[in-house]
């Protein structure tokens, strides 16, 4: 009566974002702090090295809305 799941292999999503450095928006504290965390998380020599977290941070930076940017001249 073993209930086996067919999905036993770990899923590795190779996200192209991972290799790409996020571009924080200048003057945005949120982006800059996330970028600092991203650099730590994407640095294999850092104690905070965490590639999947780095990907999350990169996505967060890219998706961070900056409505005020449109009105800036």
Q: Is 28 in the site for Zn ion (CB under 5 A)?
A: yes
Beta carbon nearer to Zn ion, 53 or 64: 64
Tell me which of 20, 21, 23, 30 binds Zn ion, using CB under 5 A.
30
Kindly calculate the radius of gyration of the chain based on its CA atoms and give it in whole angstroms: 17
- Candidate ranges 12-20, 25-33, 43-51, 52-60; the one touching Zn ion (CB under 5 A): 25-33
Q: Is 59 in the site for Zn ion (CB under 5 A)?
A: no
Residue 45 CA to residue 55 CA, distance in Å, equals 17
Task: List Cβ neighbours of 15 (8 Å cut-off, separation of 6 or more).
Answer: 55
Beta carbon nearer to Zn ion, 49 or 68: 68
Q: Site residues (CB under 5 A) for Zn ion?
A: 25, 28, 30-31, 64
């Amino acid at each position: 009566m073993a209930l086996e799941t067919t999905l036993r292999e770990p899923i590795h999503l190779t996200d192209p974002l991972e290799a790409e450095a996020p571009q924080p928006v200048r003057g945005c504290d949120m982006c800059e702090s996330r970028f600092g965390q991203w650099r730590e998380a994407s640095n294999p020599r850092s104690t905070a090295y965490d590639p999947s977290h780095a990907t999350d941070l990169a996505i967060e930076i890219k998706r961070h809305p900056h409505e005020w940017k449109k009105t800036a001249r």
